[in-house]
Amino acid sequence: MKTTLQSGPFAHADHRVDRTMLTVLLALLPATLFNLWLFGLPAILLFACTLGAALGFEALWLAATGRDARAGLADGSAAITGWLLALSLPPWAPWWLGVLGAFIAIVIAKHAYGGLGQNLFNPAMVARVALLVSFPVIMTAWVAPQPLFTERAASVAQSFAVLGQGVPDTMVSATPLGHVKTELSRALPASQSAADAPALPDLLLGRRAGSMGETSVLLILAGGLFLLWRRVITWHIPVALLGSLFAAAQLASLADPARYTDGLFHLLTGASFLGAFFIATDYVTSPMSPRGKLIYGAGCGFLTWAIRSYAGYPEGMAFAVLLMNALTPIIDQYTRPRVFGRQRNGEPLPLRPF
Amino acid sequence: MSSAIVSLTLLGIVLGGLLGLASHWLAVEEDPIEKDIQAMLPGSQCGQCGYVGCAQAAAALARGEAAVTLCPSGGRALAEALAKKLGVSADLDGHAEPVPQLARIEEALCIGCVRCFNACTVDAIIGAPKQIHAVLSDICHGCGKCVGECRTGAIALQPVAPSVASWIWPKPAAGLAREVAA
Amino acid sequence: MKNHPIRGGVHPRYWKELASGQPIAAFPLPARLSLPLQQHVGAAAIPLVEPGQRVRKGERIALAPGAMSAPLHAPTSGVVHAIEEITAAHASGLPQLAIVIDSDGLDEWAELPAPLADPFAAPPEEIVRRVAEAGIVGQGGAVFPTAVKLGMGKQYRLDTLLLNGAECEPYITSDDRVMREHAAEVIDGARIMAHALGVAKIIIAIKKNKPEAIAIMREAARAFAGIEVVGVKIQYPIGYAQYLTQAVTGRETPAGRRNAEVGVVVQNVATALAVQRAVRHGVPLISRVVTVTGTAVSRAGNFEVPIGTPVAELIAHCGGYRARPRFLVNGGPMMGFQLPDENVPVVKGCVGIVALAEEETARQPEQACIRCGTCMDVCPIGLPPVEMAQLIRKDRLDDAARLGVGDCIACGSCAWACPSHIPLVQYFNHANGALWTADRQQRKNERLRQLAEARSARLEAARQERLAAQAARKARAAAPRQEISE
């Protein structure tokens, strides 16, 4: 019995990339289904376009570079990218926005960097930000929930019209964060405009205008807890992110309630939970050590608050994540664990009397 | 518009000039790379490369006059290391795989003439006139200088057989490269 | 006694149930035994016998050229067939010199050294000497000469002998069975070793997945003061000496130092048994307990196998294969190596032979790294395997060394846990091998340079001497003329 040389270990954990990715998709499923119902047929069509385009570009790229497209698609990473991108778009955006976003995410943000595992920035967020700065009007044209099977549900004809042209001007609605920002620019205090936001139960369930990923806080949280339970992610990034976002907002709001909304408002509006559990925790673009994750998560949370409060855009999660992505290599470098028998600086431990 | 062009051009000229002056004033006198290269060479002064000794070969390498494949006893491994150090791409396809070689003396043919003994620059050959010579295998580095000196053809370079003690794990074949090739 | 926390580690499926219920059985004498001269850390042994020579069981057939080596003894009586190259019990499968003995079936003993009636009255040097003569090396697989470790009481201040009964590797049950069936001898051996080391305290650490062994050892240790049996948590690789020391005593061995420098000497339980046999009965290390297991083998079991027995005979004795094995592994599946073929012999460090069926390995084709960081979480040393492998892939070995690849213990936790199934351990073994080779070459270059300089200095001195002699001759030749002219 002559064998080819293989190194151990000869046993292996039942861990596989494709299963991990599948778990993430499973965690996103409840929130996604709820939102597809909430925003109706136009949202379903856009979701399908975006996801399909992401998978299509992945397959095309792999085929064009001479790799096995089926094996590449099987790892599930392109599906997650397309899925998250679709969740971060306005639900009634035109079809080409999703397709263009998928192109940016898959081809430019992922494969131009060398493919899976090599990209510095979160592909879905690169696409979202690129679309946001290129098409600011379309990317902030939100719509109030129009649930399926209700009298407000979009008809088939209307749905295809939306898919072609986007939200009709008459139906454009603002997110709570956007509303506060607009009112502040009209010198209306934040404490007053924040009160216009939907009631707490509606915010938790997601009955408000916004992207599909941000509205239903409870279902996203449930998905995140599922990922924690399945040990796909650790608590460090979500806790640090939400904690620092809440702390920054709460402190600022205590200091100047007219200018700043409070911590709870920041947590429950916008894409805080989607970002904390599903975007910032992307393996490829986040630090690896627990300490690094805490620093990174805290950075994401604080930057999100700062961008929401001071920058021109109402939502800052995508920008914050991209900025912290850029810092990931350096965070990784400075948060490596201490090596057994060595001090933090790499020198051997001194011999201690016993 | 024109003021922008003028100011940027001026800025470029001034900064470029500063850089030029800095490279002139702050130039490193001695070429540190020569020392590094000398440390990489075997240091046996065997002269197989055509230079008098390893120091001269290192100087020539540093000046870019010699090929990185010049050292026969360093083998392919040294050639690769030199190419990396000097930042040149060496065509190593024709260069032999780094099979270390050692000189071996066929006792039946040795007449004890001490020619090889005198030729060896590192005293890796022991013996005396009229006595059969032998090679110290832990010192010999296979430069082959003795082979040419031997009149009776008693010396030959022999590849060192790989052993359990010297074997190392090969680098894993790149799984993703395999996929591309398929 | 509570365990101290240790970093990282994994929880593989242990599969101990395949063989742990099987008592140690005697193994039928093989017709031919091959004893490699190098079965230990250090210099290879030097043969003392010649082909055709008759040897008796227990007779020394190869000597240790220095302290850092171990002699070999004939596992049975018979005739030396040859001293020839056989396929090594090593991943490389390269040839290795071995003494091959044809057994005569008589199993006739040679005259053994007289037993030490009271080892505790003998000076420690005597124990160390007997252990060295018996050719005992670390039985847990590290094959470090035991006598060298037992001599460390002279070099370092010690306070504890830590007996390693963790048996961390999945599948392997040889230590478990040794503790269950030879508890009294193991404890006796441990006490003899403690005497040689000059320490009063013995801690016997056993992983909690062996409750029977813990109970039996506790019972056997009760009669003696200063022996404590400690259950350690089920976490791989807790059996690694430095870890076990940290988990049990809380002491962390500094990098580049010996475990003995923190006062603890770690010995395997099977080594204790071998020491006991050598000191109390004069029996050298000529057999050891080997687990033959894995779902691909028909009947798993534990056997007292003569050193040098071909692996093929072990497999045949266990009823052959039930399924075609995907891997035939020497040692456990985590740190063991794939056997090049079935004809290699059982060597002193062989704890078991594991025939793994396809479904047990869960190996998948390699995929791209997704930087999940699992490897960093599980690394017991605290290294960044993901970053090191990336550098090694690009041949940046020096940078990998700066990240600490040299501290890697090749425990395999990272590669076990990697969701992309990247052969991380092979990267690190490759890097450490290549760095070691480069370092050796560097040192050889240094030595060659010195030799070349010494030679040119010598030649120069000889030339100067010749010149001086010439000048003197000239001077002498000129001198008489001067006298005449005067």
pLDDT, position B83:
84
On the 0-12 / 13-18 / 19+ scale of CB atoms within 10 A, B148 is exposed
Q: Which of C361, C419, C426 sits opposite A10 (nearest CB)?
A: C361
Q: Does B42 touch chain C (CB under 8 A)?
A: yes
Q: How many domains does chain B have?
A: 2
Residues C293 and C372 occupy one common structural domain: no
Q: Burial of C418 by CB count in 10 Å (0-12 exposed, 13-18 middle, 19+ buried)?
A: buried
The shortest CB-CB distance from A6 to any of C253, C338, C362 is to: C338
Predicted confidence (pLDDT) per residue in C226-245, tens digit: 999 999 999 999 999 999 99
Determine the pLDDT at residue B31. 66
Q: What is the ipTM of this complex?
A: 0.89
Q: Would you call A66 and B180 a contact, using CB atoms and an 8 Å cutoff?
A: yes
pLDDT tens, residue by residue, B14-72: 999 999 999 888 876 666 788 888 888 887 788 878 888 888 888 888 888 888 888 87
The span from the CA of C190 to the CA of C229, in Å, is: 12
Average pLDDT for residues C333-351, to the nearest whole number?
94
In a domain, C11, yes or no: no
Q: What is the distance in angstroms between the Cα of C383 and the nearest Cα belonging to chain B?
A: 19
DSSP lists the bridge partners of residue C10 as: C236
pLDDT digits (tens, 9 = 90+) for A326-341: 999 999 999 999 999 9
Nearest CA in chain B to A8: B169
> Could you tell me if A304 and A261 are in contact, meaning their C-beta atoms sit under 8 angstroms apart?
no
Q: Does residue C97 sit at the B interface (CB-CB below 8 Å)? A: no
Question: Same structural domain for residues C417 and C380?
Answer: yes
Chain A residues interacting with chain B (CB cutoff of 8 angstroms): 5, 7, 65-68, 71
CA distance A77 to A83: 10
Kindly state whether B169 is in contact with chain A, defined as any CB-CB distance less than 8 angstroms. Answer: yes
H, E, C per residue of C347-362? CCCCCEEEEECHHHHC
Where residue B81 sits, what CATH number does that domain have?
1.10.15.40
Residue B45 belongs to a domain: yes
Q: What is the mean pLDDT of residues A65-73?
A: 87
| Mutate which: A61, A62, A65, A67, vs B, most B CBs within 10 A | A67
Query: pLDDT averaged over chain C?
Result: 93
- pLDDT at A129 (0 to 100): 96
Measured CA to CA, the distance from residue C444 to residue C457 in angstroms comes to 20
User: What are the chain B neighbours of C392 within 8 Å (beta carbons)?
Assistant: 171
pLDDT at B99 over 70: no
Whether pLDDT at A3 is above 80? no
Residues of B in contact with C390 (CB under 8 A): none
Residues of A in contact with C92 (CB under 8 A): 5
Averaged pLDDT for residues C404-409 = 95
Shortest distance between the Cα of C91 and any Cα of chain A, in A, equals 7
Altogether, the residues listed in chain C come to a count of: 486
CB–CB of C341 and A6 under 8 A? no
Same-domain status, C249 and C353 = no
Confidence of residue B100 (pLDDT cuts 50, 70, 90): confident
Q: Per-residue pLDDT averaged across B155-160, rounded? A: 86
Task: State the total domains in chain C.
Answer: 3
In chain C, pLDDT over 70 holds for what percent of residues?
98
- Which tens digit of pLDDT belongs to each residue from A173-229? 888 888 888 888 888 888 888 888 888 888 888 888 889 888 889 999 999 999 999
Residue the block writes with tokens 């390498």: B61
Percent of chain C with pLDDT over 90: 84
Residue contact A8–C329, C-beta within 8 A = yes
Whether C455 and B121 lie within 8 Å, measured CB to CB? yes
Judge whether C386 is closer than 8 Å to chain A, CB to CB: yes
Which pLDDT belongs to residue C483?
A: 54
Q: With CB atoms and an 8 Å threshold, state whether A68 touches B180.
A: no
Sign of CA dihedral C18, C22, C25, C28: negative
Task: Using CB atoms, pick whichever of A13, A284, A346 lies closest to residue C370.
Answer: A284
Of C341, C360, C379, which residue sits at a domain end?
A: C360
Q: Is C96 within 8 Å of B164 (Cβ atoms)?
A: yes
In this complex, do B168 and C446 lie within 8 Å of one another by their Cβ atoms? no
Note the pLDDT tens digit of each residue in A264-308.
Answer: 999 998 899 999 999 999 999 999 999 999 999 999 999 999 999
In eight-state DSSP terms, residue C2 is P
Query: Strands, E, within B16-124: which ranges?
Result: 101-105
Same domain, C32 and C42: yes
pLDDT for the residue B94:
57
| Any domain includes C370 | yes
C262-274: average pLDDT: 96
Q: What is the mean pLDDT of residues A33-58?
A: 95
The answer to whether position C10 is within a domain reads no
Average of per-residue pLDDT across A64-85:
91
C167 inside domain: yes
Chain A partners of B179 at a C-beta cutoff of 8 Å?
67-68, 71
Q: What range does the domain containing B150 cover?
A: 101-159
Q: Is a pLDDT exceeding 90 seen at residue C46?
A: yes
Residues of chain A contacting residue B182, judged by C-beta atoms under 8 Å apart = 68
Q: Which residues contact C102 (CB under 8 A, 6 or more apart)?
A: C31, C32, C78, C79, C80, C81
Higher pLDDT, C486 or A246: A246
Say yes or no: C249 and C392 in one domain: no
C5 touches chain B (CB under 8 A): no
- Per 3-state DSSP, what percentage of chain A is helix, strand, and coil (rounded to 5)? 60, 0, 35
Asked if residue B178 has pLDDT above 50, the reply is no
Per-residue pLDDT reduced to its tens digit, A147-183: 988 888 888 888 998 888 888 888 888 888 888 888 8
The confidence band for A243, taking pLDDT boundaries of 50, 70 and 90, is: very high
Q: Which residues are CB-neighbours of A263 under 8 A, at least 6 positions away?
A: A245, A246, A247, A248, A249, A250, A253
Domains of chain A, by residue range, sit at 18-174, 179-208+233-333
Q: What's the domain range around C471?
A: 364-486
Measure in Å the smallest separation between the Cα of C344 and chain A Cα atoms. Answer: 12
> Taking all residues of chain A, what is their mean pLDDT, rounded to a whole number?
92
C263–chain B nearest CA distance, Å: 31
pLDDT the model gives residue B177: 41
Q: How high is the pLDDT of residue B8? A: 93
Q: Please indicate, yes or no, whether residues C46 and C159 belong to a single structural domain of this protein.
A: yes
From the CA atom positions of chain C, what is the Rg in Å? 27
Q: B151 to chain C nearest CA, in Å?
A: 23
pLDDT tens string C121-170: 999 999 999 999 999 999 998 899 999 999 998 899 999 999 999 999 99
Sorted by sequence, the CB contacts under 8 Å of residue A196 that are 6+ apart come out as: A176, A179, A183
Q: What residues in B contact A7, CB-CB < 8 Å?
A: 169, 172
For residues A2 and C371, the model is more confident at C371
Q: How far apart are CA C375 and CA C155, in angstroms?
A: 37
Residues of chain B neighbouring A66 (CB-CB closer than 8 A): 180
pLDDT of res. B181:
34
Q: What is the distance between the alpha carbons of residues C367 and A97, in angstroms, rounded to a whole number?
A: 31
Q: Do B122 and C452 touch (CB under 8 A)?
A: yes
Average pLDDT for C213-222: 96
User: Chain C residues with CB inside 8 Å of B163's CB?
Assistant: 94, 96
Q: Give the pLDDT band (50/70/90) at residue B179.
A: very low
C445 vs B39: CA distance, rounded Å: 8
pLDDT band at C481 (very low <50, low <70, confident <90, very high): low
Confidence of residue B176 (pLDDT cuts 50, 70, 90): very low
Q: What's B149's domain CATH number?
A: 3.30.70.20
Q: Are B38 and B78 in the same domain?
A: yes
CB contact under 8 A, A288 and C384: yes
Instruction: State which residue of chain C sits closest to B75, comparing Cα positions.
Output: C441
DSSP string covering A174-218:
--HHHHHHHHHHTT--HHHHHTTSPPHHHHHHT-SSS-TTTS-HH
What is the full DSSP assignment across C252-300?
-PPTTS-GGGGTEEEEEHHHHHHHHHHHHH---S-EEEEEEESTTBSS-
Nearest-Cα residue of chain C relative to residue A12: C416
Residue A2, pLDDT above cutoff 60: no
- State the pLDDT at residue B61: 86
Which of C288, C320, C343 lies at the terminal end of a domain, its last residue? C288
CB nearest C455 (choices: B122, B162, B172): B122
Compute the average pLDDT of residues A53-77.
91
Comparing alpha-carbon positions, the chain B residue that sits nearest to C423 is: B172
Contact of C338 with chain B, judged by CB distance below 8 Å, is answered with no
Is C137 domain-assigned? yes
Per-residue confidence band for A309, with pLDDT thresholds at 50, 70 and 90: very high
Which chains have at least 3 CB atom pairs separated by less than 8 Å from chain B?
Answer: A, C
Q: For B179, which of A5, A7, A68 is closest by C-beta distance?
A: A68
pLDDT attached to residue C1: 65
- Asked whether residue B57 is domain-assigned, the answer is yes
Final residue before a domain boundary, out of C254, C288, C322: C288
